[in-house]
Structure 1
Amino acid sequence: MHILPPESIDQLLERAYHIAGWQLGELADTLALETPQNFRRHKGWTGQLLEHWLGASAGSRPEPDFPQLGVELKTIPVDAQGAPLESTYICVCPLTGLRGLRWQDSVVFHKLSCVLWIPIQGDRAVPPAQRHIGMPLLWQPDPDEMALLQRDWEELTEQVALGRVEQITAHQGEVLQLRPKAANRQVLTDAIGPDGRTIQAQPRGFYLRSRFTHRILQKHFL
């Protein structure tokens, strides 16, 4: 079942509100898709299911999921109290070619300028097919949130550009983290070394801390 991209943010939100309260299995059945028994080998399945229903068109390109609207889609597993259960992946961090890159030109900035959050019941005791889809939230960072994101991005990116990628830990950054992003430790890519020469390092990805996304959900839903 092919669904065309939404023509407006109102149409996108209409589609998202339509499925609020549905179980993932119900939505999968509507789209003639099979629901996995568990997520051990299907970690990104929920996001792909919602992308399909909502008509996301970016695929794996480094741009928002709905490029014509400038909106990024993020599903977020939450517990019974509505608290996020994990950090939220944003995008891959470039480990070379960083000279002159500005925050306003970064993939992180473009993906986080407008986000459609869709909470998903994350109780691991509940089979994937029976997990419920929550109410959507269209979020744009306020000036304080944007400043926090920019500061963390600039500090982390500067360390990568200075050849310190291997010294960066998940403890750095108030709202953003930079962490390894690969299927296994054998996956390597070019990076800037301490002396400016090219080295091999694990790919890195930017993540939003769960305490930051929790504040976003609390602010809008409570």
Structure 2
Amino acid sequence: MSSVYNTKEKVHNRALEVVGKTLGEIDVKSTMNVKNKSYPGNVIEQIWYDHPADNHAEPDFPEAGVELKVTPLDKQTKKGKKKKVTELIAGERLVLNKINYKNEYGKSFEQSSFWHKNKMIELIQYYRRDVSHKKKISSGEMIEDKTKFQVLYANLLSMTEFEGFHLPKDTIIEIPEKDLEIIKQDWNKIAEYINSGKAEQLSEGLTYYLGACTKSATGDDFTKQKHTDVYAKPRAYSFKSKFINELINSHIIGQEHTEAISSIVKDVSELEKKTLEEIIVSRFTPYYGMKQSELIETLGIKVGESQQKNINNMIIRGILNLPTSANEVTSEEIEKAEISLKTITLEMGQPREHFKFMGIPSFLELVKESWEKSKVYDFFERKKFLLLVFNNLGKKKKNSGSDNTNPEDIIFVGAKFWNMPVSDIDGPVKEVWKTELEKLKNGVELKFIDNKKIIIKNNFINPSLENILCLRPDASLAQYKSKYYKDVIEKGIPKRKLMNNSVKLPHPAKWINRPDNEKENYSDDYITKQAWWLSKEYIYEQIKDLL
């Protein structure tokens, strides 16, 4: 059926007319199911554009060559240096078309379904929520009225050059050439897995701007590949949420953007010879094997007493030629690709500690999760790390609680990108996650040991090379009862201090050898706050090739 919106101008001008309207004002007859997750998109597509829902390989408006996407924006407030900064952020990744592994097999970028369907997108964004209310909404404490979601922006997002259109220029976002080169590299990486019959090993963490996100109702859905009997999870192409963030910020906010973000790649021609990953790693290679003291001198870094703890970050910023005044290492590419930088300090070539990656604010909420919808699965499925390894060769002084910080003893070993393989996510990580949740649901075992000093042992799995995921304490002081006030003396002044190092258990603990007179301090219902960690043995396996 031919649409009246058969040119780019008609599609885009219709989009501009919806800006400022709420979904309820568009769906005045309440014809769409407000409980449906796709309600916002259905209202815009089926009512505003009078376009039937479909799942065709063609763009939504084939004559115009434009795909329609409707996505949420959320409000986020962060603490700045001097004041709180409130900004709009993409509420989720921008999910594009589903990947048909068989049809996509053997195609070039220009022949791909991704390029055919998405090279020009009408991006309509509505205001959804203040993320400070997200917990209340997810718990059901606060019910959102989707009919009050208001359309804020309509932009034509283009990955291809177009001329001669009479459209408002300030509502056209042309994806920069540099970004397009990185998108092509990401597509090639995804295609490499599809063409080699290894789509089951795909994850979002493999790529930078363009991802292959999971797209199925349950974790039991699998789909066929070409030339192999191995089934893979259904996936869709998607732009990472922070990639969309940066495009919107630089385009809509422009010069008023709160912080100018520097780039690592200054010249787009560099991307024609190397991947983004190769370029970033190449920035570090000239400095491999250098002492911290040599790096400080070579990079011209001035280190004050207050900056001693932040010295490795200052070195990394110096190597990447990023502003030294910032508190963290960030760049346009790091932001858009959602890269997480992790500095690993070895002692005599061995990791000294396990790697904490996620705190657990509530066990009550944790035990309600399913694996495919869990925070742990989502984290490793999506996360790309840049690991920066230093080796401390100095001997720790006996009876000293402080680490050796002599810059003559600390060597920069190297840098590498890493994301967790799907075989590890769906293998040992999933196994430990499920096992520990069962213990929490049925009652974790706690053993009371009184040998001059009281020690409490639990039956959570000990970290190892095989058990790479583990639950470990996330508080400096142990606590097995609800938060309470404790009388302390600080700097000679009596003070009441809030002790809040515990979290409520979803099921009473099973105590062993707990004295009756200790039941108040070591209760059935609370345990010291915990976090998810990766074992140091596993981390060592990921970086040992740098040594």
Correspondence for 2:340: none
Q: How far 1:4 sits from its partner (Å)?
A: 4.6
Name the CA distance, whole Å, in 2 between partners of 1:133 and 1:87: 18
Please report how far the alpha carbon of residue 36 of structure 1 lies from its aligned counterpart in structure 2 after TM superposition. Answer: 4.2
1:134, CA displacement in angstroms?
A: 1.4
Letter paired with 2:108: R
1:135 to partner: Cα distance: 2.2
Task: List runs of 5+ in structure 1 lacking aligned partners.
Answer: none
* Partner in structure 1 of residue 298 of structure 2: none
Task: Report Cα offsets for 1:73-119 as digits up to 9, x if no partner.
Answer: 11120112221011111111122354430100111112321111111
Task: Determine if contact 2:8/2:65 at 8 Å carries over to the other structure.
Answer: no
Residue equivalent to 1:90? 96
Corresponding residue of 2:42: 48
Rounded Cα–Cα distance in structure 2 between residues aligned with 1:7 and 1:150: 28
Secondary structure at the counterpart of residue 79 of structure 1: strand
Q: Deviations over 1:130-151 (max 9, x none)?
A: 1101121112133222212111
Mapped contact 1:177–1:206 kept (Cα < 8 A): yes
Q: Which amino acid aligns with 2:42?
A: Q
With over 3 angstroms needed to count, the CA separation of the structure-2 counterparts of 1:197 and 1:4, relative to structure 1, is closer
Change (3 A) 1:6 1:99: closer
Aligned to 2:5: 6
What amino acid is the match of 2:246? R
Higher Rg of the two aligned structures: 2
CA distance in structure 1 between the partners assigned to 2:49 and 2:72 by the alignment = 18
Q: Please, what TM-score do these two structures have when normalized by structure 2?
A: 0.37
Aligned to 1:210: 241
Q: How far did residue 7 of structure 1 move?
A: 3.4
How far apart are the structure 2 equivalents of 1:97 and 1:111? 14
TM-score (norm 1): 0.86
Q: Map 1:24-35 to 2 at 5 A.
A: 24-29=23-28, 32-34=29-31
Counterparts of 1:218 and 1:131, CA distance in 2: 21
Equivalent residues, number: 212
**What letter matches 2:93 in structure 1?**
S
The question of whether the paired residues in 2 share the 8 Å contact of 1:78 and 1:121 is answered with: yes
Q: Does 1:151 pair with 2:185?
A: yes
Cα displacement (A) at 1:199 = 2.0
In 2, Cα distance between the equivalents of 1:106 and 1:98? 6
Counterpart of 2:72, as a letter, is P
2:61 equivalent in structure 1: 66
Structure-2 separation of matches of 1:58 and 1:147 = 32
Residue correspondence of structure 1 range 174-189 to structure 2 within 5 A = 174-189=208-223
Q: Aligned in 2, Cα 1:214/1:15: closer, same or farther, shift over 3 Å? A: same
Within 1, Cα distance between the matches of 2:103 and 2:23? Answer: 41
SS of the counterpart of 2:72? strand
8 Å CA contact 2:73, 2:128 repeated in 1: yes
Structure 1 residue 169: Cα displacement: 2.2
Distance 1:217 1:204, change over 3 A: same
Instruction: Report % sequence identity.
Output: 22
Partner residue in 2 for 1:107: 113
